[in-house]
A = this chain, B = another copy of it.
Amino acid sequence: MVRYMSNNNTMPIEQLADIFKALSNPNRLKIFLLLTTCCSPGTVGIYDKSADVDTMFIGDLGKELEVGKPTVSHHIKELRRVGIIRTERRGQNIACWVDPDIIEQLRTFFTR
């Protein structure tokens, strides 16, 4: 029998719905995509070797979206609230990256 969902899913349904809600807004989804495919030539993405993740500054993310700074800030806050991204101040800028664990959980969710 084909089964698509993992049985050993420990995350509450409300929390999972919240994660999908965060990814349901086109601008937030773009941020997510920028952070997970950001290191192509011509982009400003940086591969952080020590953390083994791609990072971008919030300002550079904002330049890729056609919304104002408050809106970018709001979306970043929302992505962080549900645990999709993590942030860290670096001087004037704030670096962002996607939490690898969340990706792994989502892949597991859609597997088996």
Q: Is the CB of B98 within 8 A of A53?
A: no
Q: Does A30 lie at the interface of the complex (its beta carbon under 8 Å from any beta carbon of B)? A: yes
> In chain A between 81 and 111, which residues have their CB closer than 8 angstroms to a CB of chain B?
98, 100, 103, 106-107, 110-111
Number of copies: 2
Which one of B5, B14, B39, B54 contacts A33 once the chains associate, using CB atoms below 8 Å?
Answer: B5
CB-defined contacts of A17 to chain B, threshold 8 Å: 23-26, 29
Query: How far does the alpha carbon of A39 sit from the alpha carbon of B111 in the complex, in Å?
Result: 17
Q: Is the C-beta of A67 less than 8 angstroms from some C-beta in chain B?
A: no
User: Which residues of chain B have C-beta atoms less than 8 A from A25's C-beta?
Assistant: 17
Within the complex, the shortest CB–CB distance from A78 to chain B, in Å, comes to 12
In the assembled complex, which residues on chain B have CB atoms less than 8 Å from the CB atom of A4? 36, 98, 100, 103
CB < 8 Å neighbour of A100 from B2, B47, B53: B2
Query: For residue A29, which residues in chain B have a CB less than 8 angstroms away from its CB?
Result: 13, 16-17, 20
Residues of A within 8 A of B (CB): 1-5, 7, 13-14, 16-18, 20-21, 23-26, 29-30, 33, 36-37, 39, 47, 52-54, 98, 100, 103, 106-107, 110-111
